Amino acid sequence: MHPNARLLLLDGPTVQAALDPDAVLAAVQEAFILHSQSAGRVFPLIREKLHTGGVFGIKAGDVAAQDLLGFKAAGFWPGNRPAGGEPHQATVLLIDPHTGRPLCVLDGNAITTERTGAAGALGLQRLARADSARLCVFGTDVQARVQVAYALRVLPHLQQVSYVSRDGQPDAAFESLFSAQCRIGLARDRNEAVAASDVVITATPGGGPLFDADAVQAGTHLNCVGADTAGKRELPPGVLERAQALVVDDAAQSRTIGEGQWAPPFAGP
């Protein structure tokens, strides 16, 4: 161990300033490829409910060929929202795989947000119809915002965004983020909005089905990011059974804490 070794601390603004969307897309794509080749390992997940009403988890892994080892400690604290705080909180720790010494502690909120947005974008690039023009998003908070931002980046024909807010009311701040890039407005009827959309994105806390199964039309692409704990779901029964393709970032985690809990048996890394 080097006698002058130091621990690097990176706060939220510093991390956010370093996250270039194109670089994030490339990094997330590389991570998926490494995982599919078993070159990047994902260790067993820790995900537990807390007595405070929050959920705490640890996701860890390594990439031996790149001498990478680390974990993200993260979770969801719903009590933060009424106080004006962000419910999702995350911290990333990078570790020297040869010595066990911590190398860097990063604020993980921005990384988590961008990573999930980029993962959704990669799915859209490879699985959504190339001429997709209409999108419906459930949610208007941080993850919904990054999902729409990345969708507008990778879907060149996207012209219209309908959104379903938590309280059913228009969200002027959300609309202002995208009004210069597309037509955007509140969906008055969620099932009609789903039926009229080429792409549906669900970015909610995963409290239950968000729309009726028969609202989903043939050829619709769905990106579902809210189910991250045992018992959570966003899709209604019957949708996954109709899916032509079910693609997840990690099959084991999807089966235990993701939307895959409710899916027919499927294979994957």
What is the CATH T-level fold of the domain 8-111, as seen in this structure?
ornithine cyclodeaminase, domain 1 (3.30.1780)
Q: What is the mean pLDDT of the chain?
A: 94
Average pLDDT over residues 76-98: 94
Residue 4 has pLDDT above 80, yes or no: no
Class of the domain covering 129-262: alpha beta
Residue 268 has pLDDT above 80, yes or no: no
Q: Which pairs from 254-258 meet CB under 8 Å and 24+ separation?
A: 256/45, 256/230, 257/45, 257/47, 257/227, 257/228, 257/229, 257/230, 257/232, 258/227, 258/228
Average pLDDT over residues 118-132: 96
- Cα–Cα distance for residue pair 55/61, rounded to 1 Å: 20
pLDDT in tens, 164-222: 999 999 999 999 999 999 999 999 999 999 999 999 999 998 899 999 999 999 999 99
Do domains 8-111 and 129-262 share one topology? The answer is no
Q: What is the pLDDT of residue 165?
A: 97
pTM: 0.90
Instruction: Identify the residue whose tokens are 């039309």.
Output: 217
Total residue length of the chain: 269
Residue 264 has pLDDT above 90, yes or no: no
Residue 249 has pLDDT above 90, yes or no: no
Q: What is the pLDDT of residue 69?
A: 98
How many Cβ atoms from other residues are within 10 Å of residue 56's Cβ? 16
- Cα–Cα distance for residue pair 147/137, rounded to 1 Å: 9
Domain range annotation of the chain: 8-111, 129-262
